[in-house]
Structure 1
Amino acid sequence: MNWIKEKSRTLFFKIFISFLSIIVVFGLFYAAIFHLFKTGLQQEIIKTSQRDVTDTAERFSNQFRRLQVLMLDISSQSELIGFNNELRHQSGNNVNYLKALQVIRQMRSDIYNPLFYLEDTLIYFHAHDVVLSKSGSGSASYMFNRSYASPEYGYSFWQGLDQNETFQLFPASMFQINNQLSEKNLLPFVYRHPDRYYSIIALMDIEQAAGSFFGQSGDRMLAIMDKEGQLLYSQGLLADSMPASIRAGQPEVVLQDNTYYFAQPLPEGLVFVSAVPYSHVTSQLSRLTGALTVMFFLSIGIALTASYLLSRRLHKPVKHILSTVLDRKSAASSPIIGGIAEYDLIQDRIQELLREKEEIREQMSKQQSVLTSYSYISQLKSINTDISEWVDFLSEDGSFNVVLYDIRFRMNPAYELPLQSEQAVRHILEHIHLITAEHSPKSHTFQIEKNEIISIYKREEAGKLEAMLEEIRAMLDREREVFLVTMAVSAEVSRSADFNGAYRQVKTMAGQARLLDETQLIMGLRTLPEAVHLSSAQEKGLHEALQSGSDVRSRQIVEQALEGLYKKEAGIDQFRMFADAAASKILGLVDMSRIDKSSVRTLKDWSGRLQECQTLDDYAGVFRQLIEAACALIRKKKDTGDEPLIAMFMNILHTQYAEDISLDYLSARLNLSSAYLSVYIKEKTGMNFSDHLLNIRMNKAKELLACTNLTVSEISQRVGYLNITSFNRMFKKATGMTPGAYRRQHLALTHAGS
């Protein structure tokens, strides 16, 4: 037992157990998914069988309607009506049998149509005992006893046929055709007009129709019943074996005697029943279960083997390093174990660490609290306060709250400051320090960034915090014509070592401040709107307005989007992200217009001023100047004679860049050859087709990465790359970094600018 307890504390055991835990979690997850999948698959098989019988019923219903229309057409033929009248009023050789021949020829074209699945169509003149078929005419006794002979449908049956019914379906039966030359299972479908003296009998090849509509049955079964429950056709299914509810024509699924029964009634009164043995369902599940079980245990075996080998590989060098440290061997007596570079580096430096051990221990005993907090002290970039005050705070125990004052100087202040902004921040710091020192003697206030001030309040002073912050807010709000301040208050923090997390929290809260012309006090995080970019319609409208040089329409679209963000209560950081994306789109279109680089410099100056905007009016004013300057350049370019073909080309690229667009497609749209169009684009723009398309797609990708939370895979598809690997490769080639790195850099720059 002691051996087991001792082994359980080793690094190898803990690493191996960690791997095993991951394997068990994934195994349980796999088992749960498999159970749900198996259950869902069984239900899907049942639904598929039910859908098959429904589809079969609809196809048979359509088939019977086609036959009804066919028999109505035959019955209404003038030649048939005329031949019937001659039979009734003439006798012997006076009857014109040429009319019967015309009727037979028309019937043959319908019978040989594969859509009807007909073996033959018989026209039976009851009073004259004459029958017309595809092979000619003959007596009824010969036709029903020899040409189409069946035990159920002999000559006597057709003589006694009920002549009051219009359409009648009779049960299928085996017919001996042409004196037993062949045998087929045929289903009689009879039509008789009440005012006429003949019946039309359509002999449907039910086996062929069932094979086409229901498919190769295998172990599935099919039955068709009429509204009285009489079995018209059966494919391995007996009426007596069906459940009572199925025979009654109720549309449901019933499991009885290890067989699933599916019923589908039709408005005409027919009921279609399909039966699938339960073994058919279980056999499919068993095959799937077997294959997945083998894969599961194989995966478990591979994972266990890999876990064991990797655990030993990680554990062995650690044992060697520990042996060196505990035995204090020299570098010469402790050779480095290769294989893992980090372990090799540790082994290489271990002797130096041993020599400095005593010195480090002495320093740690004197400045334990400062060393403990070093991990986040190093992240505070320039704290303009007495360092001894900061060290005293770190050494104290107890919880505290962090308040961040984010100072943003106005773009166009009402009056000029007598001081530089850096000096103004220092004076603001002194005012805040005076108020906090009066109400909270144990508080600490210092400048942490260029335009950021931090105050820390101990827990015992939390009761005075809100009233004091309101006093500070009122003091700062009197200067809102010169600068705006966001005051963000963190949740209570229990340890000084958690300062870094509290600082990140208040930074996030400051970025969520609304775009208001006042000092704001924020006590907690809030939910921000998701969409902070131009909609598809707005983006398309801005593109068209800029292309046409319409500064009025362009300003309306951007100002409308800004108003929408303001009404949604978007945060300051979101406004900056939107402004960066919109400015990039405007500058990108100007670049596409091949405007002189020196003329574009003014646009970039206005674009840079967006970082200085602090209110909605500021953003509207800078965008107005930017758009008016951009549209003026575009209009000037158009006035000098821009190429209409190039304009059409660029318009297609900008509106259809997400599609599978090619030079052949463009040449077809512009009614030019691909070779000519390629040379023309290169000559007029200095770039070929693929470079234009790549630039547009990459600019759009950068906009989506900066302004949305879409995944890289979703952005890849939106800009026309179905293969994310290709997208990553092209993005890195165009920008020098991966999409993820670009997004992180943009977020870092946004926060740095705030």
Structure 2
Amino acid sequence: MNWIKSKSRSLFFKIFLSFLAIIVLFGLFYAVIFHLFKSSLQKEIIDTSQQAVHDTAERFSYQFSRLQVLLFDIYNHADLIGFNNQLRQQTGNEVNYLKARDVMLQMRSDIYNPLFFLEDTLIYLKEHDFVLSKSGSGNAPYMLDRSYTSKQYPYAFWNSYKSSGESFSLLPAAVYRIHNDLSEKKLMPFVYQQLDSRYQIIALIDIDKAAQSFFGEPSDRSLAILNTNGDVLYTWGDLRANELPTFAAGQQAVLKDGTYYFAEAGDDGLTYISAVPYSHVSAQLSRLTGALLLIFSLSLGVALAASYFFSRRLHKPVKQILTTVLNRKTHAPQPYQGSINEYDLIKSRIQDLLREKEEIRDRLNKQKSVLTSYSYISQLKSINTDISEWEDFLSDDGSFIVVLYHIRFRLNPSGEPPLQTDQAVRHMLEHIHLFTAERYPDSHTFQIEKNEIISIFKREEAGKLEKLLEEMKDMLNNETELFLVTIAVSSQVHDSSGFNEAYRQVKALTEQAPLVEESQLVTKPRTLPTTVHLSPSQEKGLLDALQEGSDSRALQIIEQALAALQRKEAGIAQFRFFADAAASKIIGYAEMAQIDRAQLQSLKQWGSRLAECHCLREYQNVFRQLIEASCALIRKKKDSGEEPLIAMFLSIIHNQYAEDLSLDYLSAKLNLSSAYLSVYIKEKTGLNFSDHLLGIRMDKAKELLTRTDLTVNEISQRVGYLNITSFNRTFKKAVGMTPGAYRRQQVVQTHASSG
């Protein structure tokens, strides 16, 4: 006892005990977390099983609905109706059995479709005791007792079968012996017969194959299908009808005799019950528990070994120091008795260790800070967003309102955004989420595009929501030098299927918003200007200014057009459309001026900056830089003395005179209006477009008539005339004689000059 008491005061024992205390605390923390995690996992496994039977019910319901359509189509097949009528009205060879063959061929295409899971479809003409199937036809006793043999559904059953008042009836599955391949299968009859009908359609569903596809391999799970009366139609796996529990109203899961039962009512009126042994749930938990316990045991062993090792390492130097001190100071006075003998001796004999003690204290404080941070981070990591809240939000009945925050980042003088846009959008997303969740806890906020944030509110009054968004707009207006935000509010959405339409609605509202230098709230559409193009006079003035290299005149025209759009309160999208069209004309003229490719690329980069403009000043600045750069390059090119537009025009008609050229084609190719191009060509060359084209075609025709042996028809096609009559008339009007006469004249002159 004394030995234990003395050891308990040693440094080694105190340090080792401290490590053990920390290990115990972490072990308790781990046990609590594991217990919570285990409960959560068990619930997740149960929810997964419930979802599995829900999915199975949906798949079976959909399958039965498809089979209803199939049986209805077969029942109303014109050849089947005709064949039945013939059997009733005619006898012997008068019956056209080809109609029955056509019906069977149609059935085969459906039966052999693997998605229907059909073994066969029988058409039982009860009045004539005759059956049609995929493999042939025959009398009913043979087909129902021999081809498909079942104790539960013999010929006598079908001969006396009457529906319970409904056209479609699903009967309990039974084992059938199939005569064709001498096999046995569990089939479920699905019967369609109208009350006044003389025949019925019996679909034999390969229910095991369907269950395997819709539910999966049974392994340790089972499935039962019950009709509206609670009778068992089918079981899959080790499940007996007398084992099924009774479910209370609204109850979906029951634990009975060590088995979980999950029920789901299908849209077809049937009830689907899945049975999962509790051992299946516990086995998954056991595997997880075993793995976690193994990890915990290893962690505990490593922690104990590390504690002992570090305790020894801390204790050994102190023991050596004490040995040295005691050996040198054998007659030292009795020190003050503290809780730890070794430190009492160190404090009384080695004052220099005080400095080291302070360093150790500082180190421990830092370690404490690290541990505190680690604890905080662990708490953050333990936060788990429950996705089921969002699923419940979507599945809950009621109306919704969608709010879109469209963020437009401003440009600085260098043409670049002043912020890292991705990081800024994330910060705004978090801020909007906190701001809205505080007022409306049921709301959801998320990022949908790189510069778009969506908030969805459930069953909120428009007046209250608009007040919240007004506050949001005022708050965002404090940062207008960095970004502008358009807040668009949709009309009420009555269910989740309308979210796409609501998003398109708020997207359109943001595009209709006026171009202003502040954040704005848009709640309804507005009337926009009908035209946002340059007028013909403005377009002509712009091209004249570019041709002269006058950047001031060109910029004045663009700024006047932008100011007009601003006065008309054009939408953001309309400003963007106008800017793209105007920039295309400016850069297109620079291309016609045959500007160097590298310099032209720099102009296109300025044009692409227009996509980043979000206010009138930004548009004006970018257009100023684009026009000044374009005019400088055009002025430099004009030193050659060549009219670039006329040069390109002449190049086109000299190279493409044989094609179906028109003024509209040229104006589209040169990005000019046809009226302006016609006046410009006449002004610069003295001839209009048609005169130029006619002259080139006639000169080429003369050359071909003189130098080749081509026929007049071939020559007319080579110079752009598909109609030889039109070519002859035009040639005679231009030259004074027909093409043939012109060729003869040239031949005579050639011979005369050679003689």
Give the TM interval when normalised to the shorter protein: 0.3 to 0.5
TM (normalized to structure 2)? 0.45
TM (normalized to structure 1)? 0.45
